[in-house]
Every structure is written in C-alpha cells, then in structure tokens.
A and B are shown apart, each in its own frame.
Chain A
Amino acid sequence: MRQYSETDPVDFAIVGTGAGGGTLACRLAEHGFSVVAFDAGAWWRPLEEFASDEQHQQKLYWTDERICDGENPLTLGSNNSGKAVGGSTVHFAMVSLRFRPEWFKARSKLGYGADWPLDWREMWRYYTDVEQALKISGPVTYPWGPPRPRYPYRPHEVNAAGLVLARGCEALGLPWSPTPLATLSAPRGLAHPCVYRGFCTIGCSTNAKQSALVTWIPRAVRAGAEIRDLAMVGRIDTDASGLCTGVHYLREGQWRFQSARNVVVAGYAIETPRLLLMSASNRFPHGLANRSGLVGRNLMVQTNQAVWGRFDEEIRWYKGPPSLALTEHWNYQDTGKDFFGGYAYMSQGPLPQQWAATQSSNHGLWGEALIRDMEGYIHQAGLKIVGEVLPQEQNRVTLADEKDQYGLPIARVTFSLCDNDKRLVRHAIRHMTEVMLAAGGHDLWHEDDDTAHLNGTVKMGDDSRTSVVNADCRSWDVRNLWVCDGSVFPTVGGVNPSLTIQAIACRTADRIRALAASGDL
C-alpha cells in the first residue's frame, strides 16, 4: 500500500471507509487523485479473524456510547452502526435494491418529503455500475420498476424462511422475488460462492459477501489510495479563508494531523454531523457547513417492524442469508394506502441471541415462558419491513456534554416517529399478518418497536438555504468540504440504502473528476 506524508497535502482526506467513503476512495484513486481514507475501526482479515459467534463479532460495531432520546429512542450499535474498514457493509444484510424512480422527486411526484437534486435516469446508470462492481446475485427479471439490466450473477436458492414469504404472497396474488444480494452465487477471483452459513450480519468469514472491505477497498489500494485504520478523526481544520486544511486524528494514542486539499466526511448519519459540529470555529461557530442550520437535522431511520409466527414444518431460518425473498409491492402500489411513502418486506433469519432479544425486549417474554418459546426456534419464520419515515427537522443529532474515551463530546440522537410513520407501520403489520396466515403460520405476534439504517442529517439539495450539500455532495459553505454517505439523503425510501449510497459515491467521484478538469475543484 502506498503511504502519504502528513505534511504534504493529499488531494482528498476521506473520513470513513464504508459504502460512501470506501467507494469514493476507490473511484477517486482510480481517477488519479491522491487519497488517504481514515477509519476509526480495524482492518479485519475475515478468513483468519471472523468467528461464527454473535457475541464475539460485536467487535464490528460502533459500541462507543451515544445518548438516545425523543419519543422513540433509537437502538444503535449492532443494529445499524459499524466501526471497521468497510464500515457497516462488513455486517450489512447485503440487500441491494434500487430506489423507485419517483422517490428522487418525492415532493413533486408523490406529494411528501423533498425532491432530490438527482435525476433517476442518471442514478439508474450508476446503480448498474455498482451492481456490476459487487456482482450482485439476483433474478433475471425483477418484478418492480422500469427495466434494468440482468443482475450479473444468478439468484440464490430461496431457503424455507423465504419460501414462507413466497407461499403467503402467492396465496394472496402478490408478486415476490428472490432478493438481489451482494453475496456471490458463483466463484469470483479467489472467493468461492456463499456457503449459506447464515452469519452474514455478524461478518462473513468466507469473503463471499461483497462488502466494501473486499470490493472497493482492495481496488482503492491497488489504485494508490492509503487506508489508515484505527484512526479516529476528531476535527476538521479550516484556515482564515474558510477552507479546509486537513483533519486531526487520534492514532496509537497520539493526536496527529493530515494535511489535505479536500476533506470528505463519510461517517454515516451520526458520526458525520458529529464531526461537522465538533469542527466549529470562530468563523463557523455552529459547526462546519452549517449556515443553513440543518447539519444534524432530518435524521431518518427506516421502520423495521415484523410479524413472527410458528410453522409445522422445520424452517431452520439460521441457514443462508437472512433475507432471501422479498416483495416491494407496497413501494410501487400507491392505492390502498393511508400514508405517504412505501415499504418493502423480507424474510428473516435471526441468530439465537438476536431472536432471544426480540422475544424478550419486544415480546416481553422471560423465565420459563421465554425458554419454552425459544425451543420452537427451528419452526419460526417472520417478515420484517424496511419502511420509509418522513424527514422531520426535530429528529436530529447534537453534541452531548458527556465525553467519550477520546475526550470528544458524544452524540445525542433524538428521534420520534410522526403520525404518518405510525400509519405506515400499522398498514404493514395488518398486511404481513395476512401473508403469514396465508402461508400457514400460527401463534403470530407482531414486533412494533424496531428500526434499521441511518440517513439524513446532511441534506442534499439545490438551494443553499434549505440544504447542506449540493447534488455533487459538495458543501455550499466550504467548497473543499464534501459529505458522501447516507447523511445526504433528503428522503429515505422503502429499501435498504447501501446500493444508493454507493451509486451516489460513484457519481460524486465522476463529478469531482469533471470539476477538476474544468478547473472548478
């Protein structure tokens, strides 16, 4: 790996190496820029260092303290926060879906949320690039949305947990599909196909999962980027002219400084606004890039409620990727809804600790009741939504008084569902209950308190008064400061965000190359 001096400015210092930062580091390096990408987490070698063990693999998560409040305080950590080179893609469920085209103009076309400054047709091209880069396995024809090219690899066999979804949907006359997944269904280079071990969300130990760690990061290094792991960036410096000069980071117990011509923040929707707010100065008293006052605001998650049930057959849902089948019916169907937005739902395969946590925290079971219910583990199946929430300015990330182990103020995360979000959830639970019954499930119960993913907080837009960055992910206020991760989403849609984050990162890299060529960088 090439290594850069701290004192000679690199073209780009990127903070975070997940779906946003890892992808951008790769594409910028391939475009010929000098890049140093920082991650607070470790650079794991999955083949040697990943155990098949939920407890041990907590090492992949961002488990530093954060304070959660609001009417619906969020669950973070293992739920949605990664701390590793490759970010949350090291433990994501690999679900790789495109946005519905209309969502990029949600305000004008569907009457809610905000319009994106991006055109869906351009995004469609970048989605194709990312699907190729990750060798997504998916069906020959996808039932929803405008035509898309064939997925590069064939779909995976659907496990019994997925066949429950299929059986229920077919009984009700609804379309379903094998889920497009970022895990190999055929060999690729030195990696063999997915062996269906089912530990995907605690880290793939065979490298079949096409995370940033095994795709963009190695490409970035080959193209000349440097990855600096175990390096916590605590502050972005700006000079008298209001431009970024580099980043302060803690590594091996010492605060150090990397000089850079441009800084990209890609820490996901909590760490990104936290770093911008922590970089306040006399010139930027409310934090960097925050003239609009919107940094940290419009935090969005996705609702993640479920209907669970028991089946007479053995399901053994721990085998295979957790979400092998899905339907996007309610993302594309606009009638019969009493809410704005959409949701997808997918089959599930929680491992024992996660299932027990669901049974205790959400179902309220403990004692003999819990132990007896857990004994039905191999007969259990369920459906879980990825549901759209509306952007609300009062849902936000701020800095708390409490400090973390680095001496930095920890994030306070405030979140409340609005009435529309709650109506969506009620609709989904009603609907999924029908599907589970049609599939032959019994002893159904619904989990009504879970969320997934983190988006918003550094809104993208075409007006500096109502957004933080422009369509190129460039700050309106500081022209050599960029934000490239799920933070920039103006709305969140009803699909998992990782494919869209990577598509935006690829687009941003191309835009930066074009801006550099025209002397506008």
Chain B
Amino acid sequence: MRDRFPGYDVLNKRGSPSWNEVTRQVIDARLAMPREPCFFTEDEWLTLTAVCNRIVPQPASRPPIPVAAMIDHKMANDLTDGYRDHRLPKMQDAWRRGLHALDQETMTRHGGRFHGISATEQDALLTRMQQGELSGAAWGTMPCRLFFSSRVLHDSVAAYYAHPTAWNEIGFGGPASPRGYVRLAFDRRDPWEAAEAKPGEDAAVERKNRDVG
C-alpha cells in the first residue's frame, strides 16, 4: 500500500509552536504506555490482541500502535464513556464476557481459541458478531452486535486514532496550540501540514514533508 503522505511525521512538530507543554506531556505519556496488560488476564489478552489486529490491521513495516494496551489502560482505570446501553453490562464486565464468548464461539466452530484461527476465519466470526448472528450461552443477555459496536469497534478504533502514527497515515496536522492554521481554502496547505503525494510525486513530496515542523 502506497503511503499518501511519504516522509510525514507529526512528531517532528513536537518542538514547534504547534505543541504546547501540556500536549507534549500527554503525548509523551501515551507513547510510553506499558505494553503489558494490567486489567486483562493472559488468556483474555491473547484474544483481545487478535481482535484488535483484525479491527485495525497494521503494516509490518512500522512499529505497531499498541491498541490492545490502550484498551487495557482504559479498562484498568475504568475510564467510562458516560453512557451505557441498558442491554450491556458495565464496560469492564462487557469486555470480559465478550472476549470469553468469542473464544467459546471459536471453540464450537473451529475447536480452538480465537487467536489460533486464520485471519479469514477471524474476520468471518467478527462479521457474524457485527451482524448479531452469534448466540452461544456465554453471551448471556448481552447482544453480540451491541458488544461489537459499543465495545470492540468503539474502543479499538478510538485507541488507534489517538496515536500519532495513525495521524501520519491520514495526513492530520496533529496538535495545534498555540499555533493554529492560516490557509483555510480549498487545496491550501500550511507549510506545517502534511503534503499529499499524487502518483509519481513521492520523492518531491517526501522532501516537503521532511521539512514539516
């Protein structure tokens, strides 16, 4: 897959007027987040990691965003969203039950754990979860479709796009305080924003993006 923003690294702006002190502290802490689970058990962690790898798959060519660890951090600190569909148990309980139920479904269908089956099989199971078609006893009263949208998608996607590496992929300008932006119209890029490469422009755009800061 071609990089649309070759050479762009939002972290190069860390020392620029686009990042205030509190932003530097917050992002530093996120980048230093422990990669080992404190909330999930070793068994749950294997399943969670496998799920995250399918929901937000990552290329082998760069250090991965620690999506599962970020979810673990949210659970360990019980950082709730401020609302809960009445059909769902509390956030932490929903994750535990959902991961267990997913493994049970895998056991029934494939005779093994979720992390052990192929990516194609994993995707098929996750699709069935999204469509509300899993109904093993381990789900209890929790609808699998709701677990998928409110927990699996919600938490893993939020974690992924909270990471500077994801901002690089989509050409987001990243933190902007106190310096904001000046050029607001169509097709106008401030020099401290990512340049997008059309096919054949990669080398020239990469030079531009190396200067972003």
Contact = CB atoms under 8 A, between A and B. Distances in A.
Contacts of B82: 61-66, 76-78, 81
Interface string A365-389: 0111011101101100000000000
A205 B26 CA distance: 14
A366 B153 contact: yes
Given A49-B22, A76-B83, A205-B177, A159 B55 contact: no
B57 A371 contact: yes
A55 B182 CA distance: 25
A351 B157 CA distance: 13
B172 A377 contact: yes
Contacts of A316: 173, 188-189, 193
Nearest to B81: A77
B203 interface: no
Chain B contact surface mostly: loop
B31 interface: no
Given A157-B184, A353-B158, A58 B79 contact: yes
A75 interface: yes
B185 A160 contact: yes
Contact of A197 (B27, B90, B176, B189): B176
A196 B180 contact: yes
Nearest to B27: A53
Contact of A314 (B160, B166, B186): B186
Interface string B150-176: 000110011011100011011111111
Contact of A320 (B80, B149, B161, B184): B184
Interface-centre pick from B160, B181, B186 (highest chain A CB count, 10 A): B186
A52 B185 CA distance: 22
B35 interface: no
Given A159-B184, A160-B184, A377-B170, A68 B178 contact: no
Contacts of B49: none
A220 B25 CA distance: 33
B119 to A, nearest CB: 9
A49 B160 CA distance: 24
Given A314-B187, A352-B161, A52 B86 contact: no
Interface stretch (A23-31, A356-364, A510-518): A356-364
Nearest to B123: A367
B84 interface: yes
B85 interface: yes
Given A76-B83, A357-B157, A367-B55, A313 B186 contact: yes
8 contacts: A53-B27, A64-B82, A67-B86, A319-B180, A352-B167, A353-B157, A360-B149, A378-B170
Given A314-B188, A352-B166, A367-B56, 8 more contacts: A51-B20, A53-B23, A58-B79, A158-B184, A316-B193, A352-B172, A360-B149, A377-B170
Interface of A: 48-56, 58, 61-69, 73-78, 81, 157-160, 163, 194-199, 205-206, 313-316, 318-320, 351-353, 355-357, 359-361, 364, 366-368, 370-372, 374-375, 377-378, 412-413
